[in-house]
Amino acid sequence: MVIVGAGEAGTAAAIALREAGWRGLIVLIGNETMPPYERPPLSKAILIEEGEPGPKLLIAPARLKELGIDYLQGSDVESIDRMAHTVTLSNGRHLAYERLLLTTGAKPRTLTIPAAAGSRITTLRTYTDALAIRRSIGPQCELVVIGGGFIGLEVAASAVLRGTSVTVIEAGPRLLTRAVPAPIAELIKAKHERSGVRIETGATVERIDVDEGRSKLVLEDGRTHLADLVVVGIGAMPNVELAQAAGLTLENGIALNETLTTSDPDIFAAGDCCSFLHRLYDERIRLEAWRNAQRQGAAAAANMLGANRPYEDVPWFWSDQYDETLQMAGLNHVADTSVCRDLNAKGQLFFYLAPSGRLVAASGFGSLANITKDIRFAEIMIGKRLAPQAEALADPTVSIKSLLALGSSSASMRG
């Protein structure tokens, strides 16, 4: 069993293979020069905590050894020979596989506008990126974040907490356009502004010049911003080059069927690098989310061993913004109705219903204690295809848990 990519999905898969009883070789190949680590803390704790925090490891190196997982650190897989069932590393070594798992993750999108040499522009994907940002931010630094998505906003929150002067520039009409309802995006914007972050929406950076050693961002309307550091958070692209060169089918990432198999029955994929057919929504989706990477990695491992089980986990994502959390379960683009449950100062929950009345998504923003449980109950209802009453969802005196119990015991399930 050979796994390419030692991130969240690859590491979860390696552990799951061993825990499922596979006694043969497991080779986990990663091109980063450290043990597998978590990415979510890179925009949060790693930027904020005192001292210089080390990476949060996914598994201790000693445990990898104990499990008999052969971890090839700092090794790049350059090619796959599907006929010979081998992969070739950049040092020329060939490794044979019986089943291959691709968990190559994603890479940040980079700017395509002109940027003068010497302008300090970075993205955030690795621990090394996070350390470089961490060392630059602070009261002496003026930071401009390009992109008002999750990663950009988390960097902005962490930087302002460290005393940095922060401006976020977003080309779209509002923050978090991709997945978050407008009212929640407004709450998040207000939270940032109260904390001292300047936010400019509908603003496009045309080019970046250098002015006396600092980056000078020139906007389309002619305005300028000076920055000691520019962090670009404009999305990510799946790492598909290896799969593409091997002739595997691609469709918004490495294309998988419901059981996470690629167009080659001996090659599987999981995590940010792939799209898969999701039965709950009857469509192909690609997720960039921590829990999906973990669970999909484990599910792919089971299928590599012949389980042949469709992967049906309800999509779930969280983002920390200061002392509050944003959580989302399911996919809201298939909904035609949204219902708001106002928790007053404690936050807001939104529920999304498909035309059939089925609950397809829920999102919430507020303190962890007030959001987590209800989103969890909503997630179960989504997975069970329940159709709770909109009025009850909107009413804060009706517990979400009771709607789950009611839905499960009645005939309100929808296709």
Residue 273 beta carbon to ligand FAD: minimum distance, rounded to whole angstroms? 6
Is the separation of the CB atoms in 9 and 271 below 8 Å? yes
Residues 268/294/10/255 CA torsion (nearest 10 deg) = 30
Check binding of 363 to ligand FAD (CB under 6 A): no
Is the separation of the CB atoms in 30 and 74 below 8 Å? yes
Candidates 61-69, 102-110, 351-359, 403-411: pick the segment binding ligand FAD (CB under 6 A). 102-110
Within 13 Å and on the Cβ side, how many CA atoms surround 135? 6
Take residue 32 and report the two structure tokens written for it.
């980063």
Candidates 267-275, 330-338, 346-354, 401-409: pick the segment binding ligand FAD (CB under 6 A). 267-275
Q: What is the C-alpha separation between 375 and 254, in angstroms, rounded?
A: 30
Q: Applying CB under 6 A, which of residues 1, 2, 9, 403 lies at the interface with ligand FAD?
A: 9
Residue 306 beta carbon to ligand FAD: minimum distance, rounded to whole angstroms? 23
Lateral strand order in the sheet of 324-330: 316-321, 324-330, 359-366, 347-353, 337-342
Angstrom CA distances, 79 to 238, 241, 245, stand at: 17, 9, 7
Check binding of 317 to ligand FAD (CB under 6 A): yes
144 closest CA partner among 127, 115, 164: 164
Q: Name which of 203 and 273 has its Cβ closer to ligand FAD.
A: 273
Binding mask 36-75 for ligand FAD (x = CB under 6 A): ---xx-xx--------------------------------
Check binding of 335 to ligand FAD (CB under 6 A): no
Candidates 98-106, 136-144, 332-340, 362-370: pick the segment binding ligand FAD (CB under 6 A). 98-106
Check binding of 262 to ligand FAD (CB under 6 A): no
Residue 389 beta carbon to ligand FAD: minimum distance, rounded to whole angstroms? 30
Q: What is the C-alpha separation between 138 and 38, in angstroms, rounded?
A: 24
Q: Applying CB under 6 A, which of residues 125, 346, 384, 414 lies at the interface with ligand FAD?
A: 125
Q: What is the C-alpha separation between 403 and 407, in angstroms, rounded?
A: 6
Q: Name which of 12 and 386 has its Cβ closer to ligand FAD.
A: 12
* Binding site residues, ligand FAD, CB under 6 A: 4-10, 29-32, 39-40, 42-43, 76-77, 103-106, 124-125, 151, 239, 242, 271-273, 288-291, 293, 317-319
